[in-house]
Structure 1
Amino acid sequence: MQQRLDKLREALANVGADALITEKAENRFYFSGFTGSTGWVVVTEKEAFLVTDFRYVEQAGEQAPHFTVVNNERKAVEAIAKLLKEKGVKRLAFESSVSFHTHQEWSKAFDGVELVATNGLLEKIRMFKDESEMVIIREAVRIAEAGFAHIQSYIRPGVREEDVALELEFFMRKQGASGSAFDMIVASGPRGALPHGRASEKIIQAGEMVTLDFGAAYKGYNSDITRTLSVGEPSAKMKEIYDIVLRAQLAGVEALKPGVTGKEADAATRDIIAAAGYGDCYGHSAGHGLGIEVHELPSLSTVSTFVLEPGMLVTMEPGIYVSGVGGVRIEDDVLITADGHEVLNKSTKELIILPV
C-alpha cells in the first residue's frame, strides 16, 4: 500500500498539487484498502487521511493502517475543510468526474484552497497490477473457469437464459465469489447478435449458439470471460462466423506485448474480421483493462494511443454480430509480461457442441 501512495504523491507533484481528495469507491479501496461505502481519502505530501463516519471508524482503522482515520461526525465537508486548513493545503487535486454539485460545495467550503481538476490520474496508476493483485485476480479467473465447466452440463434445449445466469452465479458464489462481476450476458440464437444481450426469459432451442459473457467478483477484483458454444449442431453460417472470430481472437492475443499500442492490438482482430466480410458486424473495441473495475484503463480500440507495458491486464474479445441470425464473441483475460503476455484463461476456445 505504501508503494501505491508513493506513486500517487509522484503524480501529485506532476500536476502541481500538494494534496488529493477522492471519494470514488474503486480508488478509495485501491489506495487505502477500505471497503466501506462512505469515505473520503485525502493524501498530502507526507500524510494520508481517511474521513468517514461513526459506522465505519473501527473498520477503517483495521483495513487502512497507513491512514489516519477522521470521524466526520456527520459533517463530512466541514471535517475535510478543517483538515485541509490544518495541513496547509493550497492546491487540492480532485477527479473531474465529481458532480457539479460537489464541486460547488467544495469550492465554497474549502476556503483558500485552489481545486485542481484531474482526469484519469489515479486510474493510470491502477493500470499496473502488482503481485498481490494478481493473486486475487487469478483466483477470480479460476472461479469463472470452474463456472464455465459447470454450466455446460446445465445448458440444454428448454432452459431459460435467466436460469442459466442464476445457476452460474450461484455456482461461482459457492466457489468463493462475492457475486457476479457484472450483469451476466446469456444470449442465445438471434439474441446473440446483441453484444450486451443480458440474460432474458428466452428459452434456449436446439441448434442455437449461446454466448456467455460473465465474471467472478472476488475480494474487490473481477474476472471477465466470454465463450460461445452450440446447443446441438449449429448452422454452417454460424460455424463460419465462429471460425473467423476464433482466428481474430487468437491473432489479437498474439499481438499483445510491450510496446504495442491499443490501436494496433485492436487492428490485429479487426483486419481479419473485415477481410472476411464482417467488418460492419464488429462495432465494439477489441478489449479493455480489467481489475477493481470490469472496464478500466488501458483501452484496446481503434483510437487508443495507450502503449502496452508489463503489469497491465487487458481483455481480448472480438466478436461478430449478425442481426436476425446470431453472434459470436470469445474473450480472455491477458497479462502483459516483460517478454510478451500470459493468457490467464485455460478453457478451450474450440467450438463446444453440447449434446441435445
Structure 2
Amino acid sequence: MAPLTINPVQQRAERVARHLQEARADVLIAGSATAIAYVAGVNIRPFTAPGTLLVLEASGTLRLLASEADRTAVEHSGYQGNADYWPIGDVGGSGRQAVLAMYLGTFGAGSRVALEGEATQVHGPALAAILSQAESVDAAPILDAAARIKDDEELRLLREAANLADIAYTAVVDRMTPELRAYEIVRNVDRSLRSAGGGDAWSPLEHSAGVTRASHFPKNSLVTLLGRVPETGVLDPGQPLPFALYPLSRLYTGAAGTTIVFEQPSASLKSAADALSAATEAAIAAVAPGVRADEVYAAYKRGLQGAVAPERLDPVIGYSVGTGVGRPLLSAGSNDVLEPGMALSIRTAANLDGGPGIAFQSTVLVTGSGHERLNIVPQRLIHLY
C-alpha cells in the first residue's frame, strides 16, 4: 500500500481551526494575502478583483469567496477546498452581498466570529450587516498563534525564499550603476529571479507592521528602492541607495537588503553605516531559544555604541515572517520569548539628514541550539565606485 500523502496546506488549515476552537470562535474570516496563502495555499496578490475572502469554520471546513474574474486563478492555484464567486462587474455589489450572506448568514446571535481587519477593507458594510448579531473578535492573535512556529515544510520553503532573495541581492549589486533607472534595475532582478525559479514578489506595505519610513515600492516591482525620484526612477549617485528584495518561493517570503553608495561616503555616513552594520550583526548573534525579544533589541542598541541618535532609528528591528510579514517582534518593549521554529526578518534602518538613510535586512530562524542565518549576503555598506 502506498504511504498516505500529507497535504501541508491542509495541515496548516487544521492548525488554525484548532486555534479557533481554543479561542471559542465559530469561524474565521480573513482577507489578507498572508492569511489566505497560509491557510489555503493561494496567492491572491496578482488577482484581478479585490476583496477575496477566506472563510474557515472551527470544524475545519474551508471556503474561498472571490470574484468570477479570478475563478481561473483559483482553479489553477492547486487549491483543494470549496469556493464560490460573485459576478464580474457586480453593479452595486448585490451579487457579492448575496454570496457573502449565503455562507456567513448562519453566524447570527450566539456566534463568535474571528474577523481579520483586511477583510473589512472591501466588505466592511456588508460584513457588518450580515454579522450584526454575532460577537466579533480579532482574528490576528489566532492567526499569529497558528503561524508562530514553522513546521519542517515551512522551514524548507523559507530557506528557498531566502536563497532567491540572495540571488536578487547579488543581481542588484552586480549590475547596479548610477545611470540606471528604477525600472531597469527591477528588470535585471526579475530576469535573475525567474532564471532561479522565482518571479513573484510580496510587498512590505501589505501590512501596517511592515511600513518603513520613506518607502517607495513601484507597483508590481520586485525591488523596494529608496532614494530615487519617484516620478522618473532616477537615482541620485550623491546619496546612499538602500534597497530590499521580497521574492516569493511557493508563497513563502524571502527578504534581504543593504545600502549602496556610488561615491566616497562622508565620515558621518560611514560611521553611522558601520555602527548599524555592527548592531545588526549583534542582534542576529543574540537570537536563541529562551531569549526575550527585548534582549535582542538591547544587544542591537549596545552594538550601535551611541553612533546614531535614537530618534533616527526605526523602533522595531524584527518581524515574524512566513507567507508574508507578520507582527512586530523585536523591539525595546517586547517581552516575546523566542522559540525554536520561529522565523524573523531582522531589518535595521537609520534616517539621516538630507537623504534616504541606510538600511540592512536579513532573515533568521530560531533553532534548538541558537539560530540559523538564512541569507548569506553581507549586511554592510556596499561601495560601487
Shorter-chain TM-score tier: 0.7 to 0.9
1:292 deviation in Å? 1.8
Give the drift of 1:314. 1.0
Query: Which of the residues 193, 212, 237 maps onto 1:205?
Result: 237
Tell me if 1:8 matches 2:22.
Answer: no
Question: Which ranges in structure 2 are unaligned for 5 or more consecutive residues?
Answer: 1-8, 204-216, 218-222
Q: How does 1:187-336 map to 2 (within 5 A)?
A: 187=226, 201-205=233-237, 209-273=240-304, 275-293=306-324, 295-324=325-354, 327-336=357-366
Structure with bigger gyration radius: 1
In 2, are the aligned partners of 1:245 and 1:273 still within 8 Å (CA)?
yes
Match runs of 1:58-69 below 5 Å = 60=74, 63-65=78-80, 67-69=81-83
Matches within 5 A, 1:40-59: 40-52=53-65, 54=68
Does structure 1 residue 17 correspond to structure 2 residue 25?
Answer: yes
Deviations 1:46-100 (A, max 9, x none): 34131436555676567333x3344667844434544456799951423251438
TM-score if structure 2 supplies the norm length?
0.75
Q: In structure 1, what is the Cα distance between the partners aligned to 2:290 and 2:328?
A: 13
**For residues 152 and 45 of structure 1, what CA distance do their matches in structure 2 show?**
48
In the TM superposition, what is the alpha-carbon distance from 1:142 to its structure 2 partner?
1.6
Contact 2:20 2:28 in 1 (8 A): yes
Aligned to 2:158, the other structure's residue is in SS state: helix
Count of aligned positions: 344
Distance 1:286 1:123 in 2: 18
1:109 corresponds to 2:109: no
Q: Does the aligned pair in 2 maintain the 1:94–1:116 contact within 8 Å?
A: yes
One-letter amino acid of the counterpart of residue 192, structure 2: F
Displacement of 1:250 in angstroms is 0.9
The answer (yes or no) to whether the contact 2:104–2:130 under 8 Å persists in 1 is no
> How has the CA–CA distance of structure 1 residues 56 and 115 changed in structure 2, closer, same or farther, with 3 Å as cutoff?
farther
Cα-to-partner distance string for 1:176-202 (whole Å, 9 max, x where unaligned): 3333433234346xx7xxxxx979644
> Is the CA contact 2:259–2:380 (under 8 Å) kept in the aligned structure 1?
no
What's 1:147 paired with?
168
The separation in 1 between residues aligned to 2:230 and 2:149, in whole angstroms, is: 30
For 2:377, which of 340, 347, 354 is the aligned residue? 347
Counterpart of 2:37 in structure 1 is: 29
Is this contact kept in 1: 2:298–2:332, CA < 8 A?
A: yes
Helix, strand or coil for the counterpart of 1:309? coil
Q: CA deviation at 1:323?
A: 0.3
The answer to whether residue 138 in structure 2 is matched with residue 118 in structure 1 is yes
Q: For 2:34 and 2:13, locate their aligned partners in 1 and report how far apart those are by CA, in whole Å.
A: 15
CA distance in 1, matches of 2:225, 2:53: 37
Give the Å deviation of 1:309. Answer: 1.7
Could you tell me which runs of 5 or more consecutive residues in structure 1 were left unpaired when the two chains were aligned: 192-196
Cα shift readout 1:213-242 (whole Å, capped 9, x = no counterpart): 222133322211111233354333332222
| Percent of pairs with identical residues | 20
Cα distance, 1:268 vs. partner?
1.8
Q: TM-score, normalised by structure 1?
A: 0.81
Residue 31 of structure 1, CA deviation: 1.2
Helix, strand or coil for the counterpart of 1:46? coil
Change (3 A) 1:220 1:199: farther
Provide the aligned C-alpha RMSD in A. 3.4
The 3-state SS of whatever aligns with 2:21 is helix
Counterparts of 1:59 and 1:289, CA distance in 2: 28
Structure 1 residue 274 displacement after superposition: 5.5
Say if 2:312 and 2:350, in contact at 8 Å, map to a contact too: yes
